[in-house]
Structure 1
Amino acid sequence: MLKILPALTLALILPAQADSCPEPAILDAAYTQTGLHGFNDGLLAVKKDGLWGFVNREGRLAIAARFEETQGFSEGKAAVKLNGLWGIIDSNGKILVQPRYQNARRYFSGLLPVSKNGKDYLALDHHGRETELPRWDVRPDTPLHKFHTEDFSKIGYKDHNGNIVVAALYERGVNHFSEGMAAVRKNGLWGFIDAEGNERIAPRYTLPQGQWDISFSNGLAKVALDGKIAFIDKQGCTSLQQK
Structure 2
Amino acid sequence: MNIQPHFDGAGPFIDGMAVVNIGKKSGYIDRTGKIVINLQFDDAGSFTDGMAPVQIGEKWGFIDKTGKIAINPQFDEVNAFTEGMSAVSVDKKWGFIDKTGKIVINPQFDGVGVFSEGMATLLLGGKVGFINTTGKIVVNPQFDKANAFKLGVAGVIVDSKLGYIDKNGIYVWNPMN
- Give the TM interval when normalised to the shorter protein: 0.5 to 0.7
Q: Deviations over 1:135-173 (max 9, x none)?
A: 345439xxxxxxxxxxxxxxxxxxxxxxxxxxxxxxxxx
Q: How does 1:87-126 map to 2 (within 5 A)?
A: 87-119=61-93, 121-126=94-99
Q: Distance in 2 between matches of 1:138 and 1:71?
A: 24
Q: Distance in 2 between matches of 1:123 and 1:100?
A: 13
Q: Distance in 1 between matches of 2:82 and 2:14?
A: 12
Runs of 4+ that moved beyond 2 A: 133-140
Q: 1:139 aligned to 2:154? A: no
TM-score under structure 2 length normalisation: 0.59
Q: Distance in 2 between matches of 1:75 and 1:109?
A: 8
| 3-state DSSP of counterpart to 2:67 | coil
Q: Distance in 2 between matches of 1:124 and 1:63?
A: 24
Root-mean-square deviation (CA), in Å?
Answer: 1.8
Identity, in percent, stands at: 26
Q: Distance in 2 between matches of 1:139 and 1:64?
A: 37
What amino acid does structure 1 have at the position aligned with 2:61?
G
- The Cα of 1:89 is off from its aligned counterpart by 0.5
Q: Which runs of 5+ in 2 are unaligned?
A: 106-111, 121-147, 152-177
Q: Deviations over 1:173-228 (max 9, x none)?
A: xxxxxxxxxxxxxxxxxxxxxxxxxxxxxxxxxxxxxxxxxxxxxxxxxxxxxxxx
Q: Distance in 2 between matches of 1:118 and 1:100?
A: 13
2:3 aligns to what?
Answer: 26
Q: Distance in 2 between matches of 1:138 and 1:58?
A: 37
Whose radius of gyration is greater, 1 or 2? 1
Count of residue pairs the alignment pairs up:
113
Q: How does 1:20-169 map to 2 (within 5 A)?
A: 24-27=1-4, 29-35=5-11, 38-119=12-93, 121-132=94-105, 135-136=119-120, 137-139=148-150
Higher strand share: 2
Q: Distance in 1 between matches of 2:21 and 2:99?
A: 24
Alpha-carbon spacing, 1:116–1:125, altered in 2? closer, same or farther (3 Å): same
Q: Distance in 1 between matches of 2:78 and 2:149?
A: 19
- The Cα of 1:33 is off from its aligned counterpart by 0.4
| 3-state DSSP of counterpart to 1:74 | coil
Q: Deviations over 1:38-77 (max 9, x none)?
A: 1111110000121110000111101011111122111110
Alpha-carbon spacing, 1:118–1:46, altered in 2? closer, same or farther (3 Å): same
Higher normalized contact order (CA 8 Å, seq sep 6+, divided by chain length): 1
2:109 aligns to what?
Answer: none
| 3-state DSSP of counterpart to 1:91 | coil
Q: Distance in 2 between matches of 1:47 and 1:139?
A: 34
